[in-house]
Amino acid sequence: MKRSALILFALLSMPLAQPAIPDYGRGAARVAVGERRVALVIGNSGYRHINHLDNPGNDARLIAKTLKGLGFQLVGGDALLDLDRPKMEAAVQAFGRDLGADSVALFYYAGHGNEISGTNYLLPVDANPFKPSDFDFQTLNATTVLRLMQDAGTRLNIVILDACRDNPFNGRGLRGSQAGLGVMEPPEGTLIAYAAGIGKKAKDGPPNGNSPYTAALAKAMAESGLRLWDTFNTVGLTVKEDTGGVQTPWISNEPIKGVFCFAGCADAAPLAAPEPSPAVKEQKFWDDIKNSQNPADFQAYLEQFPSGLHAGLARNKVGSGSKPALEGSKPATSAGLEPAPTEQNPLPPGEGRVRVRKPTANSDSLTTNPFGIEMASLSGGSFQMGCGPKDGECYDDEKPRHAVTVKPFAIGKTEVTQGQWQAVMGSAPPELYFKDCGADCPVETVSWNDVQEFIQTLNQKTGAHYRLPSEAEWEYAGRAGQDTLYCGGNDLGAVAWHGGNAGGKTHPVGGKAANPFGLYDMSGNVWEWLQDCYHDSYQGAPGDGSAWDDGTNCARRVLRGGSFGSFQNHVRCAYRYSSEPDGRYYNYGFRIVLSPFL
246-268 burial, b at 16+ Cβ within 10 Å, e below that, comes to ebbbbbbbbebebbbbbbbbeeb
Query: 452 and 581 share a domain?
Result: yes
Q: Higher confidence at residue 511 or residue 283? A: 511
Q: Is the dihedral of CA 306, 390, 500, 476 positive or negative?
A: positive
Any residues with CB less than 8 A from the CB of 375 and at least 6 apart, and which? 366, 367, 368, 369, 410, 411, 412, 413, 594
Beta bridge partners of 557: 533, 579
* Residue 272 belongs to a domain: no
How many other β-carbons are positioned within 10 Å of the β-carbon of residue 272? Answer: 10
Any residues with CB less than 8 A from the CB of 190 and at least 6 apart, and which? 8, 9, 10, 11, 253, 254
pLDDT digits (tens, 9 = 90+) for 232-258: 788 889 988 998 888 877 776 655 556
Residue 47: which domain range? 3-253
pLDDT digits (tens, 9 = 90+) for 427-467: 999 989 999 999 999 999 999 999 999 999 999 999 999 99
Query: 309 and 453 share a domain?
Result: no
Q: Output the CA angle 34-67-225, nearest 5 degrees.
A: 80
Query: 468 and 365 share a domain?
Result: yes
pLDDT of residue 266: 67
pLDDT digits (tens, 9 = 90+) for 538-585: 999 999 999 999 766 688 999 999 998 887 888 999 999 988 899 888
pTM of the model: 0.47
* Stretch among 82-86, 97-101, 324-328, 483-487 having the lowest mean pLDDT: 324-328
pLDDT of residue 250: 73
Cβ–Cβ < 8 Å for 560, 571 = no
Helix 278-289 with 295-304: angle, nearest 10 deg: 170
Alpha-carbon gap, residue 511 to 520, rounded angstroms = 8
Q: How many domains, in total, are found in the chain?
A: 3
Any residues with CB less than 8 A from the CB of 542 and at least 6 apart, and which? 404, 472, 548
Query: 387 and 428 share a domain?
Result: yes
| Helix or strand holding residue 3 (H, E) | strand 3-10
Alpha-carbon gap, residue 141 to 123, rounded angstroms = 9
Considering the chain, what percentage of its residues have pLDDT values greater than 70?
A: 74
pLDDT digits (tens, 9 = 90+) for 336-382: 222 222 222 222 232 222 333 333 323 344 567 889 999 999 999 99
Query: 240 and 296 share a domain?
Result: no
Query: 583 and 439 share a domain?
Result: yes
Which of 320, 344, 368 delimits the end of a domain? 344
Beta bridge partners of 527: 588
Mean pLDDT of 520-537: 95
Query: 462 and 567 share a domain?
Result: yes
Query: 493 and 464 share a domain?
Result: yes
Inform me whether the pLDDT recorded for 277 exceeds 80.
no
Query: 503 and 467 share a domain?
Result: yes
Distance set, CA 231 to CA 130, 191, 236, 255 (Å)? 40, 13, 9, 15
* Residue 197 belongs to a domain: yes
Give me the CATH number covering residue 411: 3.90.1580.10
pLDDT of residue 132: 81
pLDDT digits (tens, 9 = 90+) for 375-434: 999 999 999 999 998 887 788 899 999 999 999 999 999 999 999 999 999 999 998 999
Alpha-carbon gap, residue 432 to 443, rounded angstroms = 7
Give me the CATH number covering residue 134: 3.40.50.1460
Inform me whether the pLDDT recorded for 28 exceeds 60.
no
Query: 398 and 462 share a domain?
Result: yes
Question: Between β-strands 80-81 and 103-116, what pairing exists: parallel, antiparallel or unpaired?
Answer: unpaired
Query: 148 and 195 share a domain?
Result: yes
pLDDT digits (tens, 9 = 90+) for 139-186: 999 888 888 887 887 778 888 887 755 566 654 445 444 555 666 665
